[in-house]
Structures are given as structure tokens and as C-alpha cells.
Structure 1
């Protein structure tokens, strides 16, 4: 059965500080279109508060209902129908909280009213007052606030239970019902003692495993200690044997005598090393002197060779440059002649183009003068047209408007009608003969006919005749007078004598309007633009041009030059210049080639001169040294001295090798190391012998063998206990898994009808798709073309549309069960494209034939064409 809201009244609720009433809600589609910040979401929140929030709650959500800064009691009233019965609820929060529910069973207040309301709507009490929509039952799923619009989520437990109860008769199973939950809760309790939610071992299993680990550790420790005691006896004997060997080695004095001999040999080796160092230094000095003299001789020889080579190369380069000088000079003369010819051609071209520009300027000036004369003629024509236009506009300005003329005609008709009424009902009197003694209201009667519209008195020879006209005559005369006064006032305001003159004024003005349009078109035609004068189209541009132009502008009586002749001369000059440029470019190319051939030779000549100067300078520097004069004898003596030093150095090396300090030191160090190692080994053995003796003394009387046997027994008992606990836990897990498999199998039977119901709509949105629902009836994915897409991977627009369509599917299942169903959408389809939006609106129209649908939106253009009942918050505020 459908729940249909009829009237909503809100006062002091958040932004609604003044009373607001929403009325006129119908059975089908209702649309409330208002801009943002108008209070659409507040309206829905107020409805949820009225139907589901406890009136006495002081929760933070309830505190937020009061307008900011006001200490008032938010109140909501709602009138609605359920199953054809009319109900109403009134609820106030915070200040003097109250609730009253009225229905077919009468009125109820307080807790009784809350209970009756929850029973009617299928909701449960929200103990914390936090606004949990899962407690609101069916309407909590179908009254969709903005924050839930994009959520494709499972319905609450209340809704799932109702859907299951609806489908249980069809699927023939109670899996998922109360009986299943009782069995499952017991199994889950046992499972929770032995397993974590992720199927990890816990509780008794861990305790039994810990007991086994402790027993095994204790047994291992006992066995280790017993084996250690037995090992200590054998180790003690072995260490004592090792100590005897070490003491015997320490008592041997052979190493001490050997070390004494080595120390004596070390002093001899040090003396030989000093002699070796001296001989090595003497040899290095002699060798350095030989290398210095040899290097000086080699440098002098290379310098003489370099000098000869430089002289030969310089002569060759000078000879090559002489052969190229004539070609370079000839190329330079050709380039100079080409340059002079090019400059002449350029000057001739400049003169020809200057003459052409001057001729073009004279022709342009002549054309401008002709255009200016034509513009002055058009200006005279413009002045005449503007004068006519001013006269026509003056007539238009005095024209009686059509509305005014219609008013005057209406007044004339009113005067005629009033006169006709007066003539038909008035009393008329006329006297014949001698009327000298007759007086009408104190004035002579005369012979003219009079119309009597009011009480009139006629005096006749001392008597008085009273004439009483019909009762309506006076009012008819007043209407006639009023109509005449209106007409005269209107004519006076226009300054016209009568309506005929007004008609003449109107007709003349209408003709003048047509003439104005004609004159404007003629003015536009008479004021075209002219590029020669930089003149834009229009009368203002023409006037501005002639105001700035002098009357004798560019007067020139001479004939304009022959432009074609000047252009031919300029073209001929261009050709001459092109030829001159070609000749000049060719001459420059020849000069560049000659220069390219000559430049390397000039550079080479400079380099050869530099090489010759450097070689000569180096020879002079070497020959000027003092040791150069005796270079040959000095080199012979240096070689002999180096040979003697080499002999002495070799003898010193042989002596030093025979007494090597490093070898002697290593042998001494080895003897010292053996002595230290023996001492350290003795200390360690004595320490280990003492430790083993202490261990044997302390562990020998503790009964380690008996302890090790008892520990092995505890290990066996702990292992048996672990096997029993593990077997029990695995049995519970198997039972739980079996229940899950049975539930999944049964859930598929529940999910099938839900998926079939939802597919009726979603197929239109996503053709060819398959729906995947979880056992909690949540749409998890859609399959298209064999590819599964999770809802969270879809676009926001598609998620929002699926959220609405699945809610509609649930609503229709619950509608069959007889649950109170109503669909409210707050600003839906914010991300929908035009095609999807039209489709969703069509679906809402279809759904509204079976249940009430209310859409709160700010998108006027999107819903403007939708046939629905229109609601407006602003209109409701004015109504209150």
C-alpha cells in the first residue's frame, strides 16, 4: 500500500523561522522546484524528524533542528494517508516537546503516539537519536537525502527481513529468518571462541598450543641440562689434558735463544740499509746530470732541424702567393666596377619609383577631389531630406495616439448611450401660445421644448405645478454629464476642439510616420561610404567630413600624369637594378674565391715566419749557455760518474739483501706471538676447567634425569589435548561453513526475484547487463559483454541512477507486501546527461502510477516539461 503525503507544516525548523505550509500533494508525481539554499533538503529532514525521531530526544541532531541562535521549539505537522486511512502527526522538539498522532483509532500522545507511529510505518526507535536511516524501515530507504543519492548500498536489516518474508512463500525456506538466526548465533558464539573473524585460531586452540609449546620447551630444557652435565665430565678431562701440553710448551727455552740471536742480526741490517740509501742518492744525482746534458744536446739538434725546415717552407709559400696576387688584384677591380654600376642602378630605380609615387599621389588627389565634389552634392541633398524629416517628425510628435483616439471614440459612444437612455426615459414639456406668465423654477418658460430630469416647479397665475420625472432620469442625466465632462477634458488636454480634429491629427500622424521611414531610407541611400575619402556610411560621417574639409581642398588644374608610362619606367629601372645586382654578385663571388685561395697562403706565410723566428731564437738561447761550450767533454765525464755510482749502488743492494730488516722483524714478532698465545691459552684453559668443575658440582645433585622424564610425559599430555581442541574447532568451523553454503544457496533464491525486479528498470539504463547482488541485497556489480564492473568503478552519474532504480525495485516488492511506500528524491540526477535524465524522468512517471513520488530539485529547465503537480516553498510562505 502506498503512503501519500497530503500536507506538511513546519515552524522554527532550521532556516524556516516563519511558518511554512506545503499543500496540494497528489497521488502521482509531485515536483517542488526551488533554487539552492531555499530549504528543499530542510523540508525532507523535517519529514524524517516528524516520522522517526523521538520527540523527547536531546541528541546533537535534534539540537541542530533549532534555528541558529534561537531558543525555540522546532515543530512539524504532517497529514498523510496509508491504505486509504487518513492520519496526522504533530511533533515538537526541545522546548516543551510533544507528539500527537491521530488516525482511525483516535488520538494518541507521548510514548503511545510514538509506538503507534512506528507500528504503522514499520520502523523502530532510534535509541541514540543519531538519525540512523536503517532504523526507519522502508521509508528510510526510499526518502533519499542528498548525502545518500550516490550510494549504491544495501537496504537495512528491517527492509531485508520484510523482503525475505515476502519471498519466503515462493522459495519455501526459512534460511535467513529468525530460526536460522537462532541456530547461527549459537554456532557463531562457539566459532568466536575458537576462531577469529578471518578464520585464524584463537581461544582454546591457542591455549592448548601454548601449553604444548611450554611443555616441549621444558622437556627440551631438561634434556639439554642433563646432556650438558654429562658433557661437562668429558669436557673437564679434555681441558686438563690441553693445559698440560700448553704448560710443557711454555717451559721450553728454545724460542728465547733464537729471539736473542735475531735481535743482534737486526742491528747489522740497519747499518746496511743506511749505506744502501746513500749509494742510491749518489746514483740518482749522477743520472740526473747525464739526462740534463743529453736533453740540452737533443734540443740543439732539433732546433737546427726546425730552422732549416722553416726556411724551406717559407720560400715555397712566398712563391705560391706571388702566383695568386695578379688574380686577386683583377678580382678586386671587377668587384669595384660592379659596385659602382650597382649604386648607379639603385639611384636610377629610386628616381623612377619616386616619380611613380608622385604620379599616383596626383591621380589619387584628383580622384579625392572628384569624390569630395560628389560628397558636397550629397550633403546638399541630405540637408533637404533632413528638413523634410524634421517636418514629418513634428507632425508625428503632435499625432493623437491610437489608444487616445480609441478612448475618445469610447467616450463618444458613452455620450450617445447616455443621451439615448435620457431621451427614452426623460419628461419633455413645451408651451404654445402666450407663455409670458409661465415660470419654470423662477425663470420664464419660453416656447422651446425642455427635458425634465429632476423635480421641476411651474408657476401659473399664482398656482404651482410640480413635475416629477421617472426615478432613473436623474441618474441618466448624471451619466451623460460625466461622459461629456470626460470627453471635454480629454480634448482640452490634447488642445483640440472636437473628436473630428483628433481623427484628422491621428490620420496625419500615421501618414507622417510612413514618410519618416521613407525619408530615413533615402538619407541612408544618399550617405554611402567612400574609401577614397575614408568616409564611413551615414549622415553624421558625411557632415563631419565636410566640416573638416576646406572649400578649396587640393585645388589643382593640371592634367594628371600617365601612370602606365611611369610604371613602365619604374619596371625598367627594376630590371636594370636586377642585372646590376647579378653582375655585382658575380664579381663578389670571383673576389671571394680569389681571396679564399690567397688567404690560406698569407696565413701559412705568417706561420712559417713564426716557426723560423722561434727556431732561431731557441738556437741562440742554447748556444749562449755556459755549459754548451764544454757539452761533449762534460757529457763523457757525467756518463763515467753515473757508471761508478751504479756499481756502488749494486754492491750496497747485495749487502742489504743479506740482512733484511723486515724478515728479521717478522721472525721476532712470530716468536713473541707464540709466547702471548701460549699464555692466553693457559688462562682460558684454567678458566674453562674452573667453570666445568663448578657446573658439575652445582648440577650433579638436582635429579636432572627424573626431571627430563617428567617433562616428556607433559609433552605427550599437551599434544593429546591440542588434538582434541583442534578437532572440536574444525568441527565448529565445518558446521559454520556448511550453514554459510546453505544460506548462500537460499540467498540466491531471494536475490533472484530482487534482481529480476531491478532488471526491469536497469535494463533500460544499461541494455544487455546482468546484475550481481550480495546476500545483503546490495547491488555489487553489473556485467556487460561478459565483463564485470564493480559499482564503485562506474561514473558518479551511473551510480546515482542505479541507486534510485534499485530503491524503486525494493519499493515495488514492499508495495506488494502491503508496506507503506513513498518515494522522495532530493536533487536527483545531478550528474545525468540529457538522454539519461529523460529516461529517469520517464521511469519516475511510470512509478508514480503505483506510488506517490516527490522530487525536490533546483533544475527548473530539466523538469519544466514534465507533467506533474507543481509545488513551491515561496508560495507556501506567502500563504501562511
Structure 2
């Protein structure tokens, strides 16, 4: 089957009519951004072939914002060499017509014929379900559904099996399937299908056996525990009696009392050592204070001698600094006069340079004023021409968008008038007498067009009632009236009487617009920023010329001026020399001031320190603290020896740590008492357990359970043997069946391999019972479809659909592939392989590819058809 044209009218976002013709028998590529209408075109094709024309759920097909529309789709196609046409109208005035060659089918008969030809089943009611879509549901891929190949293959499985049976001459369904199903039903009563776990009677037998064994093991454990408890009770009773006789906790308590007495004596000795340490610390602090006072007096005597020498040196430095300051002041006066003379010469040289610059500026401004005057004159002339062209263009301007719509409407009107004229009943008459048509007399000759029911009176002969034979003539007339009204409205909006007049005015407007642009370029050359800017520039140049003349007249006589570089160099030399002399003077002044301040400070400090040393009170105090130092040293030595003796005594006492010994003995006594009490509690508990177990009949219960375990084991072994036999039989039957099925599926396997090697070399794909891809085997590793990445599943979805199409084509069934944004998640390398596969498949099938990425598909070697261009052409 090859689509030749698609006509869509008032369908979702297509509020008007969209015609797609000249469809190629191979690849057809449609492009456009999101919401341009690509998926709407694909949905229209699905609707015209698959949806029931009388379905009440299709109100979403109504054009956007037009609740009273009449969605319709018409397709022309070739089928087995016969020309076919299918048209459906939905929601309002529902109709369906299928024409195959000369045969015409209508309404339900047409839809039944379509289902038989394309390989799908009609939904009894409501929308088309996935399970009814059959072959179209497999080959017509909706946006975002490329990777979902398993369900669509399952819904088309019966049609694929029929094709395989036709190609191989065999049948996939045979008697062995019924036998396998019976064996598997019996097996499933004992083992699960996927995990082979026990179920039904076998699981119950295993559960019963496990519960009996667990109960028996628990009783065995209880009996073993009973024997162990008897032995443990005897051992615990003997240990209790021995400990009660020896009473070890009393000995530990006596040792704890003695150790505590030694610990109290050690604590008293430690307090004595701390008291001696505090007394020694006080005495050492008093001795340190006295030594510090004596050291300060010695340091004061040394400082007085040192500062006498520093004062003599400072006074000598002051005399030398005063001499240097007088010499530096004399040099500064000389360099100041030289600097003043050099500055005057530099000012005269600068004035000479300024005069030369002003003469040059005066010449430039005169030339610029002349140029600006010429440019203003030329720009004024161009501006006048520009305004005249603009006025003429505005008088004949035509809206280009409205002109295009007028041309499109004119074409539609021509076609629709011809169709209406052809559909309308024509009566040519040549009368000798008079007739009446709807009561109006008609004579002579002419043509009577019957666009609705008319009554023709024949006088005495009676009357004729003429009814048009075309059922949709009134709809065509209504559409013609609507188009003529829109055509007249556009002519009125453009202010013309015909399309030819509008096109002539449009050409005149384009010529005037070109002249306007040419004059604008001339104006831009002379006045890029406007004539006012040129006039402002002329006024500025004149003002600057006058200012330059005024400045030149105000300069002094510069005939005797030296060259500027020499004058500048002399001024810099004089300025540097003066700066250096001033720095020397400042350094000499600072040195003199510093020397005087230092000498005065040293004299004052020396006077204060000498007065302090000669003070009588200071001399008496110094003699007292020197005597006190000797006494304090004797006291410190005595306290240090006494403390060291007590510390040795304390260290000897601490060696055996009597406090820790007392604590250890008390803890040992407590532990011995607690252990004896716990032993008594354990003896009572063991006696209680033994009495309880001994009265429960443990031996008789164990014997009964052994018999039950043996019986349950035989039951479980019988069911396990049956499950093993059924599993073996199922495996043998399935292997035999799979060998026959593999031969039957050889044509499909061969086509899958043909496409698969383009992306996955040296790989195979396994099929499930419904002929959908199950696993992909690459390099010895088999991955299920769910384990593959989204992009890989998308690529497998495209390749497997091409293989299914080859299979259906070989069996003589119609094939058409539609891929709506089918390779969005595919990288560049694999996309190239997909393209090669599509080009190969396009030699056998017609393929419609819709994409919003035209730049990724521009190397297919086929023309890209933009949906936006198709809508404009409509």
C-alpha cells in the first residue's frame, strides 16, 4: 500500500484545509517545531483508517476554538495496483466512503473492508483500543512509543503468525501445544512456573514435614537439656555447700579493716607535707622580693655611669649638626634663584608651542566649515527626494499578508466554483411556449442550474419535481458563499476591485519603496546622524575658529623663546638641584633638633638617678634588706630539708596503696556473698525445671512424633517424584515444539538479523511466544528488554518493526510505516545506522518520518517537507 495524498480539514489545530500530495513510494520526511502539527497529521492518518466514523468519543478532533466544525480526512492510495480513495467525516454529518478501483463501499461495509485489508479489528464501541490496532498499531509508531514494541507486537501476533504460516507452509499451533499445556497444568499444581518452587500439595507436604521435624527436634533438645540440668544441679549444690562452709567473705572484710587504718595514717602524713610546702613557698617569695630590691639598686648605679658617657657624646654631636645646618641654608638660597630663572624661560617656550598649535587649528576649522556647508546642501536635496518617495509609497501601500491570503482564496474559489458547477444539475432548454419554475415563468432558451429542489410546471401536461443528485451540494454552496464573503472582505480591506489590481498596486509600492531606500542611503552618506547634526557641527567649528584666533592674539612675544625641550630640561635640572639642597637642609635641621633633644633628655634622667642614689632614706632601707636576705636564706634551707624528709616517709607509705587495698577487699567480700546467693537461686530454678519436664511425658511424645515424621516423609517423596517426572516430560515436549517453531519462524529471524547487524554486529535476538523481542544476546550475554537502556530499546523498536514489515510484505499484506520522532534518544553513530536501515527498507515500503530536528535528518537524500510551509500553501 502506497499513500499518494492526504487531505485534512477542520481537524484539531488545522482549522482550515491542509493538503499533502506528491507522497513518494519510499521515504517521506516531514519536519517542524513542537506543536507545528506533525503528530496531528499522523493522528489524522490513524483516524481515517482505524477509528469508527460514527464513534461518539471523537469530539476532541474538533478544530480548536470551533465547536461546530466538521473534522474530515481524505486519503488517496494505491493497493495491489488499484487506485483507492478513502474519506471519513467525524462528529457532525458522519460519513465514510471507500473506493477501490471501480468498487465503492460505504459506511460499516467500508470499515470492515479496511480492517480486513490492513490487519486490525474494529472496536465494538468506544475508542480504538490497543488490542484492536493489529498491524497498524505495530507499524504506525506514535510519539514517545518507539521503545514499547512488546505490547504492540502481541496485539499483532495473530497476523504475524498467519504471515509466517503462509511463507513456511507450516502452522505454529499443533497438537503438541495442547499436550504441553496439559502437562504444565499438572506440573503447576506441584511447582511454580518461574522459580520452580513447591506449591499446592507438594508445598503442603513439605510444610507439614518441616513442622513435624522442627517439633521433634525441639523435644530432642528438651530431653538433652533435661539430662544436662540434672548434672548441673549436682555440681551447683556441691559448690554451694563448700562455699557455705568456708565463708570466704569474712576473711576479705577483716583485711579491708586493716588496710583502711593504714590509709588513714597516710592521709594525715600527706596533710603535714602540704603544710610544710605552703610555708616554704611563702619564705621563698619573701626572699625573692628582697633579692629583687637589691638587684634594682645595683642596676641603678650601673645606669648612672653609663648615662654620664652618653651625655658627653650627645653634646659633641649637637655642635657638629649646627655647623652642617648653616652650610645647607646658604646652598638653598643659591639654587632658588637659579630655579626661578629656568621657570621663566620654560613659560616662554610653552607659549611659542601653543602659538604654533593655534595656527594649525585655525586652518583646520576653516577647511571643516567649508566641507560641512557643502554636505548640508547635498543632504537637504536628498531629504526632499526621500519625503516625496515616502508620500507616494504610502498612497499605494498594500498589506503583503492580506495579498497572499487573497491569492490563496482566489485559487480556492476557482476550484470550488468548478466543483460546484460540476456537481450542480444543469437543464438546457429551448422553448416554443412557456413553463414555470417554482411559479416563475420561463420562456425562450437558456440554462437552468438546479442547486436545490425545484418544481417545474408543464401546463396541461402536469409538473416535474427536480431533486439534485449530489448529497453534499448544499454544503459546497455554503462553503462557496463563505469563501466569496471572505474574498469580498479582503478586496474591501485592500481597497481594490480585483486580485490583478491588488498585484499591480503591490508592484508599484515595491518600486516606490526601493526608491525610498535609495534616497535614504544617499541621505545617510551625507548626514549619517541627520542634517541638524551637520548644522550643529558647522556652528561648533565656527565657534572654535573664533576661540583659536582670540587665544593667539592674547599670547606674548615669543620671538626670543628657546626650544621647548632645552627649556624643559634646564628647568628640570634647576628644580632637581633645588629639591636636593632643600632635602640636605631638612636633614641637617632634623639632625640638629634631634641632638639637642637627646642631650637635654639624658641630662634630666642622669640628674634624677643621682638624686635617688644619694637619698639618706634609700641608703638606710638598702642596708636593712641586705641583712634580711641572709636571714631568709637560712629559713628557706631549713624548711626545704624538713619537707623532703616528710615526702620520703609518705612515698614509703604509698607503695602498697592502702586505700586501694581496702576497696579491693570490700569488693571481693561483696562478690563472694553475691555469687553464693546467685548459686542458691540457680539451684532452686533447676529443681523447678526438672520437676516440670519430668511430669510432661517427654519420651512418649518423642516416639509418636517419629512415626508422624516417617509418614510425612513418604508423602513428600511421592509428590517430589511426580513433580520431577512432569518437569522432565515438559522439558522434552517443549524442546521438540521449539525446534518445530524455530523452523517456522525462520523468515522472521532472517529479517531481524538483516537489520540487527547494522547496530549490534554478531548479536541475536530471541522472540517470545507472541513473536515480540524477548532478549538481546551480545558476546555471550543475554539481556532482557527491560535491562537495556531507553535509547537501545528505542533503536530495537525501529529495527524490529522494519523486520515485521518485511515479513508482512513477503506474505502479500499491505505495509505502511509511520515514525513520529522515533530516534530522539539515539546518538549520532547509531542514528546513521538507523538511517541506512530506513533507506534500505524504503526500497520495499513507504515510510513517513516526522521529526522536530530537521538538522539531524538532512542527509537522508530526500526532500524535507516543513509542516509550516504546507499550512501556508493551504
TM-score w.r.t. the length of structure 1 is 0.59
Partners of 1:623 and 1:821 in 2: how far apart?
132
Q: 2:818 aligns to what SS in structure 1?
A: strand
Partner of 2:222: 225
Q: CA deviation at 1:42?
A: 2.5
Partner of 1:43: 41
Asked if the contact 1:748/1:775 (under 8 Å) is kept, the reply is no
Partner of 1:692: 686
Q: CA deviation at 1:570?
A: 0.9
1:122 aligns with 2:132: no
Write the mapping of 1:840-851 to structure 2, written as runs, cut at 5 A: 850-851=844-845
Q: CA deviation at 1:841?
A: 9.2
1:12-69 deviation per Cα after TM superposition (whole angstroms, max 9, x unaligned): x54466787777767566677788646442332233234334668777xx56445679
Q: 1:819 aligns to what SS in structure 2?
A: coil
Write the mapping of 1:150-189 to structure 2, written as runs, cut at 5 A: 156-157=153-154
Partners of 1:539 and 1:254 in 2: how far apart?
126
Asked if the contact 2:130/2:155 (under 8 Å) is kept, the reply is no
Give 1:82's match in structure 2, choosing from 55, 79, 84: 79
Give 1:246's match in structure 2, choosing from 240, 243, 248: 243
Q: 1:572 aligns to what SS in structure 2?
A: helix
Partners of 1:215 and 1:827 in 2: how far apart?
63
Partner of 1:754: 751
Asked if the contact 2:26/2:846 (under 8 Å) is kept, the reply is yes
Partner of 2:817: 823
Partners of 1:345 and 1:181 in 2: how far apart?
128
Partner of 2:50: 52
Partner of 1:362: 358
Q: 2:695 aligns to what SS in structure 1?
A: coil
1:845-877 deviation per Cα after TM superposition (whole angstroms, max 9, x unaligned): 886665445466789999999987989899999
Partners of 1:191 and 1:617 in 2: how far apart?
127
Cα 1:633–1:77 change in 2 (3 A) is closer
Bigger Cα Rg: 1
Asked if the contact 1:191/1:733 (under 8 Å) is kept, the reply is yes
Asked if the contact 1:269/1:656 (under 8 Å) is kept, the reply is no
1:806-850 deviation per Cα after TM superposition (whole angstroms, max 9, x unaligned): 644543443222121123344678899999999999997886665
1:4 aligns with 2:3: yes
Partners of 2:40 and 2:689 in 1: how far apart?
85
Give 2:624's match in structure 1, choosing from 630, 651, 663: 630
Q: 1:147 aligns to what SS in structure 2?
A: coil
Q: CA deviation at 1:238?
A: 2.2
Partners of 1:567 and 1:200 in 2: how far apart?
119
Q: CA deviation at 1:225?
A: 0.8
1:290 aligns with 2:288: no
Partners of 2:716 and 2:596 in 1: how far apart?
108
Q: CA deviation at 1:635?
A: 3.6
Deviates more, 1:609-618 or 1:571-580: 609-618
Partners of 1:10 and 1:369 in 2: how far apart?
73
Q: CA deviation at 1:359?
A: 1.7
Q: 1:770 aligns to what SS in structure 2?
A: coil
Cα 1:807–1:636 change in 2 (3 A) is same
Aligned-residue CA RMSD (Å): 7.1
Q: CA deviation at 1:569?
A: 0.8
Cα 1:696–1:782 change in 2 (3 A) is closer
1:484-522 deviation per Cα after TM superposition (whole angstroms, max 9, x unaligned): xxxxxxxxxxxxxxxxxxxxxxxxxxxxxxxxx99x99x
Asked if the contact 2:164/2:745 (under 8 Å) is kept, the reply is no
Cα 1:171–1:91 change in 2 (3 A) is closer
Partners of 2:829 and 2:218 in 1: how far apart?
79
Asked if the contact 2:38/2:867 (under 8 Å) is kept, the reply is no
Deviates more, 1:720-729 or 1:290-299: 720-729
Give 1:203's match in structure 2, choosing from 181, 190, 199: 199
Partners of 1:596 and 1:872 in 2: how far apart?
94
State how many pairs are aligned: 730
Q: 1:146 aligns to what SS in structure 2?
A: coil
Partners of 1:220 and 1:711 in 2: how far apart?
10
Asked if the contact 1:58/1:94 (under 8 Å) is kept, the reply is yes
Asked if the contact 2:352/2:558 (under 8 Å) is kept, the reply is no
Give 1:371's match in structure 2, choosing from 361, 367, 373: 367
Q: CA deviation at 1:226?
A: 0.6
Q: 1:630 aligns to what SS in structure 2?
A: helix
Partners of 1:600 and 1:196 in 2: how far apart?
111
Deviates more, 1:98-107 or 1:121-130: 98-107
Partner of 2:444: none
Partner of 2:450: none
Q: 2:766 aligns to what SS in structure 1?
A: coil
Cα 1:816–1:749 change in 2 (3 A) is closer
Q: CA deviation at 1:698?
A: 1.6
Partner of 1:447: none
1:499-558 deviation per Cα after TM superposition (whole angstroms, max 9, x unaligned): xxxxxxxxxxxxxxxxxx99x99x999x9x9xxxxx999999379727984899576999
Partners of 1:72 and 1:537 in 2: how far apart?
57
Give 2:231's match in structure 1, choosing from 229, 234, 241: 234
Q: 1:220 aligns to what SS in structure 2?
A: helix
Give 2:697's match in structure 1, choosing from 700, 703, 706: 703
Deviates more, 1:62-71 or 1:211-220: 62-71
Cα 1:46–1:129 change in 2 (3 A) is farther
Partners of 1:687 and 1:298 in 2: how far apart?
76
Deviates more, 1:661-670 or 1:557-566: 557-566
Cα 1:720–1:568 change in 2 (3 A) is farther
Cα 1:611–1:242 change in 2 (3 A) is farther
Partner of 2:133: 136
Give 2:142's match in structure 1, choosing from 137, 140, 145: 145
Q: CA deviation at 1:696?
A: 2.0
Asked if the contact 1:772/1:780 (under 8 Å) is kept, the reply is no
Partners of 1:859 and 1:93 in 2: how far apart?
32
Write the mapping of 1:792-831 to structure 2, written as runs, cut at 5 A: 807-808=801-802, 810-826=804-820
Q: CA deviation at 1:571?
A: 1.4
Asked if the contact 2:139/2:817 (under 8 Å) is kept, the reply is yes
Partner of 1:487: none
In structure 1, runs of 5+ residues without a counterpart are: 398-516, 530-534
TM-score w.r.t. the length of structure 2 is 0.59
Cα 1:315–1:856 change in 2 (3 A) is same
In structure 2, runs of 5+ residues without a counterpart are: 391-517
1:72-109 deviation per Cα after TM superposition (whole angstroms, max 9, x unaligned): 89865555553345666676778899977776987576
Q: CA deviation at 1:793?
A: 9.9
